[in-house]
Structure 1
Amino acid sequence: MDDIALNLMENGKDINEILDMPLHYVIELFEKKNKPKQEQSLIVAFSPIAGG
């Protein structure tokens, strides 16, 4: 979650604004940022050679 706070600060948010954000909202941002890419095939998803 430190990455999200740093990213918001780099984009002009004040640290006090970030700290005033509801925790649930910050967790949602964190989950969206770290959501894995969905693949159509399990072979592609788990194969290091096929680009997954």
Structure 2
Amino acid sequence: MDISPEGIARIQAFEGLKLTAYQCSADKWTIGYGHTAGVKAGDTMPPGQAEAFFA
């Protein structure tokens, strides 16, 4: 799927960037722009990794 740069910016703005793991409203550990796979309490990530996961 192709998403325009404007679309990517809107998704990122909606999701928000969190570089420390948190529990979302679905009670899942989440980090970056909504990444959940393998995330656990206390995890952190650099901004570049969040961008890579988002891509």
Look at both structures and tell me which one has the larger radius of gyration over its CA atoms.
1
Provide the TM-score with structure 1 as the length reference.
Answer: 0.28
More strand by share: 2
TM-score using structure 2 length:
0.27
Q: Which structure's residues are more often helix, by fraction?
A: 1
Higher relative contact order (CA 8 A, sep 6+): 2
